[in-house]
């Protein structure tokens, strides 16, 4: 941060602390992107008149752009009072920059208008998130009255990422909107929380803004992530240079953390119980009782294989369709068709907990240890999940990349093979 301020001082002469609420510090992922807008504001502030105007604004309103102080204040303020204060401050700031002396600096005024606007939303969306995080006993995220949020519309405009207050808002907005979609129930699983937020971002954002927020999510949650979810989120980043950075030491750290976790939970080195009968053939899978098996277990039946992981949102969205297919079968048809869920979770404990939580106990289950490095991933060249596969009664793969459960044709394909 000190180096950045020094560079700004060199570039802008007497410009000092008043610039800090406009420019990214050295820890901001924004530094990884090349924005022409950054040069424009630097150029504008090389003008002595603009410097003075910025200084006068900063002297009067610097407190409202001091995030740490604002976060502390909101923890002891009720939501109505908090929003009214934000609203009044925003109006005062907008009125201030519309004074005659600012009329000669239209670019600076427009820039400040945007910073003021998103600083209001940043601090408003921060309120429920920080208040909820403060009390670990709370089971739900604090929800804002709809009248407070109705005026906000997220705009897919990558140029907004140039504004520091917009970047500050993004994580809080994402957390709040994802919580809203989940009926404000707090997460107990940080991996699921991170993946769900990333999927909400993928669904609602794009371009550089999406890359930025995915990077923020990865960085903020590195200590919680396991390799599988981390690789999935990294794969959604379009910026190749940024993606490479996360595939390097960042991912190596997560892999190393997983090894430690495996040792602690004694997952590594634990010999699965062996089923009676002949030795297991590739791919080797583990069932919910820790016994090993392979596809030969289902010879004489049609098998619909679902490759999934507990952190995979698109996988979970297909489960109701699988259940519907299964329930549509007669008892005789159920004897001929097997629904086999194969998890590529990083930890067996995570997989077992997900089977229980998602109420998937009616189906067959297998676990392939190793996440994205697991045997089934390598054998069947799985590059993304959900992925589906169909085996005929002879145990032969008839569709290596089969239709999803939500496709109406899937059940017909299974019934045809089961004849």
Q: 303 has which bridge partners?
A: 338, 391
- For the four alpha carbons of 169, 174, 177 and 180, in that order, the dihedral sign comes to negative
284 in the same domain as 179? no
pLDDT digit string, tens, across residues 155-193:
988 889 999 999 999 999 999 999 999 899 998 888 889
Q: The domain spanning residue 376 has which CATH number?
A: 3.40.30.10
Long-range contacts, 360-364 (Cβ 8 Å, 24+): 360/319, 362/323, 362/326, 363/322, 363/326, 363/339, 364/287, 364/298, 364/338, 364/339, 364/340
Q: Could you give the CA distance from residue 221 to residue 234 in angstroms, rounded to a whole number?
A: 13
Q: What confidence category does residue 18 fall into, taking pLDDT thresholds of 50, 70 and 90?
A: low
pLDDT of res. 367: 94
pLDDT of res. 275: 37
Domain presence at residue 230: no
Helix, strand, or coil (residue 26): coil
Domain presence at residue 342: yes
User: What average pLDDT score do residues 24-32 get?
Assistant: 81
281 in the same domain as 180? no
pLDDT of res. 188: 83
Cβ proximity of 80 and 124 under 8 Å: no
User: Which position has the higher pLDDT, 69 or 45?
Assistant: 69
User: What average pLDDT score do residues 117-126 get?
Assistant: 98
Cβ proximity of 125 and 173 under 8 Å: yes
181 in the same domain as 64? yes
Cβ proximity of 127 and 79 under 8 Å: yes
178 in the same domain as 296? no
Residue 133, phi-psi category: left (phi > 0), alpha (psi -120 to 50), beta (remainder): alpha
Residue with tokens 């802008």: 12
Residues 6 or more apart whose Cβ sits within 8 Å of residue 124: 82, 83, 86, 144, 148, 149
Q: Could you give the CA distance from residue 17 to residue 362 in angstroms, rounded to a whole number?
A: 62
282 in the same domain as 176? no
DSSP assignment of 195-227: HHHHHHHHHH--HHHHHHHHHHHHHHTTTT--H
169 in the same domain as 26? yes
Q: Could you give the CA distance from residue 281 to residue 173 in angstroms, rounded to a whole number?
A: 49
Q: Is the pLDDT of residue 17 over 70?
A: no
298 in the same domain as 172? no
Q: Which of 3-17, 304-318, 362-376 has the highest mean pLDDT?
A: 304-318
20 in the same domain as 140? yes
Q: Could you give the CA distance from residue 197 to residue 26 in angstroms, rounded to a whole number?
A: 25
Residue with tokens 């970047």: 167
pLDDT of res. 416: 92
Q: Is the pLDDT of residue 85 over 50?
A: yes
Q: Is the pLDDT of residue 2 over 60?
A: no
The mean predicted confidence, pLDDT, of the chain is 86
User: What average pLDDT score do residues 125-147 get?
Assistant: 91
Domain presence at residue 61: yes
Structural domains in the chain (count)? 2
User: What average pLDDT score do residues 194-213 get?
Assistant: 94
20 in the same domain as 143? yes
pLDDT of res. 277: 34
Domain presence at residue 300: yes
CA contacts within 13 A on the Cβ side of 93: 28
Q: Is the pLDDT of residue 15 over 50?
A: no
Domain presence at residue 179: yes
Q: According to the 3-state scheme, what is the secondary structure of 375-414?
A: HHHHHCCCCCCCEEEEECCCCCEEECCCCCCCCCHHHHHH
Q: What confidence category does residue 51 fall into, taking pLDDT thresholds of 50, 70 and 90?
A: confident
Domain presence at residue 166: yes
Q: Could you give the CA distance from residue 181 to residue 196 in angstroms, rounded to a whole number?
A: 10
292 in the same domain as 151? no
The residue among 156, 186, 216 that closes a domain is 186
pLDDT of res. 49: 87
35 in the same domain as 180? yes
Q: What confidence category does residue 207 fall into, taking pLDDT thresholds of 50, 70 and 90?
A: very high
Helix, strand, or coil (residue 235): helix
286 in the same domain as 171? no
Domain presence at residue 24: yes
Domain presence at residue 197: no
- Residue 163's alpha-carbon distances to 25, 111, 154, 175, in angstroms, are 13, 8, 14, 19
Its pTM surpasses 0.75: no
User: Cis before residue 192, ω within 30 degrees of 0?
Assistant: no
Q: Is the pLDDT of residue 241 over 60?
A: yes
Task: Tell me which residue of 366, 164, 145, 350 sits closest to 272, measured CA to CA.
Answer: 366
pLDDT of res. 8: 36
The residue among 186, 211, 242 that closes a domain is 186
Query: Which domain, by its residues, includes 180?
Result: 2-186
The residue among 131, 155, 186 that closes a domain is 186
pLDDT of res. 269: 46
Q: Is the pLDDT of residue 262 over 70?
A: no
């Amino acid at each position: 941060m000190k180096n950045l301020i020094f560079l700004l001082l060199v570039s802008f002469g007497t410009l000092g602390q008043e610039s800090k609420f406009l420019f990214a510090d050295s820890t901001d992922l924004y530094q990884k992107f090349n924005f022409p807008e950054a040069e424009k504001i630097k150029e504008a502030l090389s003008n002595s008149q603009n410097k003075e105007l910025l200084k006068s604004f900063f002297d009067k309103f610097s407190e409202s752009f001091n995030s740490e102080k604002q976060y502390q204040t909101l923890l002891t303020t009720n939501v109505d009072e908090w929003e009214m204060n934000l609203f009044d401050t925003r109006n005062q700031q907008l009125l201030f920059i519309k004074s005659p002396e600012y009329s000669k600096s239209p670019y600076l005024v427009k820039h400040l208008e945007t910073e003021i606007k998103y600083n209001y939303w940043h601090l408003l969306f921060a309120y429920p998130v920080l208040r909820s995080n403060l009390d670990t006993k709370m089971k739900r995220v604090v929800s804002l009255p709809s009248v407070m949020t109705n005026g906000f519309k997220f705009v897919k405009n990558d140029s907004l990422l140039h504004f520091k207050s917009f970047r500050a808002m993004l994580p809080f907005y994402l957390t709040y909107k994802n919580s809203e979609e989940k009926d404000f129930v707090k997460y107990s699983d940080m991996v699921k929380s991170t993946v769900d937020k990333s999927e909400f971002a993928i669904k609602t954002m794009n371009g550089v803004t999406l890359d930025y927020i995915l990077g923020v999510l990865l960085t903020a949650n590195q200590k919680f992530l396991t390799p599988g979810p981390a690789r999935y989120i990294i794969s959604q980043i379009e910026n190749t240079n940024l993606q490479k950075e996360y595939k390097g030491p960042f991912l190596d750290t997560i892999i190393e953390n997983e090894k430690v976790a495996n040792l602690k939970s004694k997952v590594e080195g634990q010999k699965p119980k062996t089923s009676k009968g002949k030795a297991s053939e590739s791919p080797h899978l583990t069932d919910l009782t820790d016994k090993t098996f392979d596809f030969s277990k289902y010879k004489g039946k049609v098998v619909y294989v679902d490759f999934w992981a507990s952190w995979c949102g698109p996988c979970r969205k297909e489960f109701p369709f699988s259940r519907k297919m299964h329930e549509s079968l007669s008892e005789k048809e159920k004897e001929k068709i097997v629904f086999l869920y194969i998890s590529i979770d990083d930890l067996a404990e995570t997989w077992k907990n997900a089977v229980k939580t998602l109420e998937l106990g009616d189906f067959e289950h297998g676990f392939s240890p190793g996440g994205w490095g697991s045997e089934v991933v390598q054998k069947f060249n799985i590059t993304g999940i959900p992925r589906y596969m169909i085996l005929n009664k002879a145990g032969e793969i008839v569709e290596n990349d089969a239709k999803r459960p939500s496709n109406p044709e899937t059940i017909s394909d299974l019934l045809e093979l089961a004849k």
